[in-house]
Amino acid sequence: MTDILDKIVAVKREEVAAALKRKSLDLVRADAESRVLTRDFVGALRAKLAQGQASVIAEIKKASPSKGVLREDFIPADIAQTYAENGAACLSVLTDVQFFQGAVDYLKQARASCQLPVLRKDFIVDAYQVYESRVMGADAILLIAAILDDAQMKAFEAIALSLDMAVLVEVHDEVELARALKLKTPLIGVNNRNLKTFEVSLDTTLSLMQQVPADRLLVTESGIRNREDVLRMGAAGVNAFLVGETFMRAPDPGAALAELFAIPA
């Protein structure tokens, strides 16, 4: 792991320890298991593809560790609504407080304002956070291969699936992809950002895609900035995207989504 990932993981472990003091694992598990209605995250992505459209997970993110604040005018409910109106398949909402200025309430507000399934975008390092994700209303969670071992990924996925949540497993090289393919989830996210140098290259997705089986759904993450990037991915057969920063910097995130993916009104 890189220094920044080490720091984030350390903070996450502290957050889990603090959360356990407020609410025990047994209580958060019971709470999670009592919340039975989820929205079909995988189904929403596949439905767009079946219609011949790009399948976009549109992200709601106020800031990042490397870029600082991306959007001053930050109202998650309004952003979610404009995404929904402009063709997004699903939402991704940052809930990390310290590094991304996110919040659990942002996810709740976004989900309440539209009917799209919502991914909790955070750094999950403990089973507690998986149950916590369902309690806050998440329909899917992110598992990052770079910060988890095989046993953790398998265990966290099993909990998520038992709660009817989808799992997007994120990889950024061949070794992580091979590990991710041991999981049941069809959702494979390829992060185009090198976690050591933080350089971004779409070649990461293009070089790994041939190793992703046809029954999996490849989602390209990071670095989609313009129409040319979308067309390049589409020409290679990649039609599912997770995009955040490009939309967050636009005056109207939803209009930017429609323009970037040429989604008809």
Catalytic amino acids? 59, 61, 121, 170, 191, 221-222
Output the CA angle 138-212-183, nearest 5 degrees. Answer: 50
Pairing of the two strands 217-221 and 63-64: unpaired
Hey, what long-range contacts does 159-164 have (CB within 8 A, 24 or more apart)?
159/127, 159/130, 159/131, 160/130, 160/133, 161/185, 163/32, 163/33, 163/35, 163/38, 163/130, 163/131, 163/134, 164/36, 164/38
Asked if 143 contacts 119 with a C-beta cutoff of 8 angstroms, the reply is no
